[in-house]
Structure 1
């Protein structure tokens, strides 16, 4: 067996992990509604200040000492061009890593699209086996007029391991949800994917037609989101 592909794969994972832990410009809104700007990162290897809560690390400038801020002390935060909001798991579901955690806002409209950014177990989402670990890196949603906004460019959800296809359709990558807000969000599965996404992306008929034609599935949601943003941006430019 050739060991070099394995070594290359390991180096890629290390590089991705290192990138995910880099400080990025951003800002957060605390539980009292105060906003602070600076540098933010998510370090999955670190221990949080409050048990069973996700957390961020923050420093006002590059030379400042970092502080850990637990999810209960936050409403939301922006890291790079990605926006996150604090929430519990949807009703009837369980997140084994943290009881209170963050989800990324992938699309911010009346009916929003959310994605997990961190480690959760498939069996608690969809009745299946295996686990997935995904980290949001780079571009994507930004801080906008609704508070969390949408930026053209697309964030990257990189699955770093795990697999499995549960009865509800979990496949070892990012877990996606939809809803008007986090209190009402529900998981997107293979079974409800077409119905949900035609509602979420209903303003763009060309995108809806591709969803109905099964050109996109839950497994390539990232490509669908990128295409939707491309079509959306083109239409807005034409209307200007």
Structure 2
């Protein structure tokens, strides 16, 4: 498989040649490669993951961790709705089971994965079809490196994990804008970031040392 730089997708995102070259070397074995992208909310991990998959075309499939958000009805039942996005608001065991299936593709068997739709703030079952012949699977999410029950098996199921980071002020600005885009009032968006997203961000940043590589926007790989 060959991944060559193309017109950036989306238009504002250019995938660094260094990242493409590194990925190309990882795919030279001829077997399926599972790449994880992790970082604090608003760090741009989803953007980088999508851009890499766009460049790779049919040779790659994006499978976000966010498809394993618990449904809102379950969060209400468990009393966790105001902490949506925290580690215990996901079906981590379901996500681990999916990764195990993706590591061992079976000829003729399509694996269906859930996706998360921000416009309705709900996961959608079986929304992503992963065909067995796809050599590159990119998964992105907050807790790929978390060494806690329910999550600690994730890292070992991924061939490599890249930690993605962004200038802190820009990350926070982007995060507030995202919440506003999907319906929160400006003050509510800032409050949610301060009270919910940022405690999660500190937890995620504590896992940075467990990443195989660290990618910083505007700089490239710094480790």
**What TM-score does the superposition give when structure 2 sets the normalisation length?**
0.28
Higher relative contact order (CA 8 A, sep 6+): 2
* Greater strand content: 1
TM-score between the two structures when normalised by the length of structure 1: 0.27
Instruction: Name the larger-Rg structure.
Output: 1
Which is helix-richer, 1 or 2? 2
